[in-house]
Amino acid sequence: PPRRSSVLAAPTTLDVATLNIAQRIPLGDEAKGLFFGKSTQDGALLVSKMGAGEIAVVDTATHTVRTTFTDLDLNGGELSDGDLSTGPDGVERFVYPTGTGDTIVTLDPQTGTTLGTAETKEGANPTRVTTSPADGSIWVQQPGSDTHAVYDPATLKRLKRFDTGKNPTLGPFTIYAAYAYTAHADSNFIQVIDTTKHILLAHILFPRD
């Protein structure tokens, strides 16, 4: 396939009243894409640069880059996503999956120091992550094994693994995180999961065209 050229990565902020672009924040060249989740209590937004294998730390008040973490543990994979977890212990951890690296990594959002690493089943290919706003638990979609796994934020112990449809790609929560959802790229249903009991409750089917 043709090589994908790098473009200037610049996340934007929107005026919520008009939906006009308010700010563009240049992060340098990026060939594959950007991922980010929740910001830290002190207003830092960690942005994963997939192609560059870097995490830019953006100040949400000044719309400037505080620093960039470059020495990341990718285990031969790539920076496939990223979100902030705040566990029951009150500790903030940034978590990212490594795709073909078959690991999930947490790091200190202030220093970029690796805090923990969990290995997935070989070939699981963890590519997307969302952390629960209720307890900071880490929910990872693994399209290589068609599974959705849940990890403890402090220990990275796997708490539960759900079988999914083909190619799970998204895992959002309801506003108070009572329920989690698993959406798929190649299956016509969404899973509904009770986040407290870790029980699969239902499949929401969508008709195929």
pLDDT tens sequence across 63-105:
999 999 999 999 999 999 999 999 999 999 999 999 999 999 9
Interval 32-65: pLDDT, tens: 999 999 999 999 999 999 999 999 999 999 999 9
Contacts of 74 (CB under 8 A, 6+ apart): 53, 98, 101
Q: Is 9 a residue whose pLDDT tops 90?
A: no
pLDDT at 88: 95
Tokens for 114? 């690796």
What gap in Å lies between CA 187 and CA 183, rounded to an integer? Answer: 8
Interval 109-135: pLDDT, tens: 999 999 999 999 999 999 999 999 999
Tokens for 13? 């902020």
Q: What angle do CA 118, 123, 126 make, to 5 degrees?
A: 50
With a pLDDT cut of 70, the percent of the chain lying above it is 96
pLDDT band for position 149 (50/70/90)?
very high
Contacts of 2 (CB under 8 A, 6+ apart): none
What gap in Å lies between CA 208 and CA 165, rounded to an integer? Answer: 15
Q: What angle do CA 199, 204, 209 make, to 5 degrees?
A: 150
pLDDT at 209: 63
The whole model's pTM is what? 0.92
Contacts of 157 (CB under 8 A, 6+ apart): 118, 151
pLDDT at 10: 85
Return mean pLDDT, the chain.
93
pLDDT at 78: 97
Tokens for 110? 């202030």
Q: Is 174 a residue whose pLDDT tops 80?
A: yes
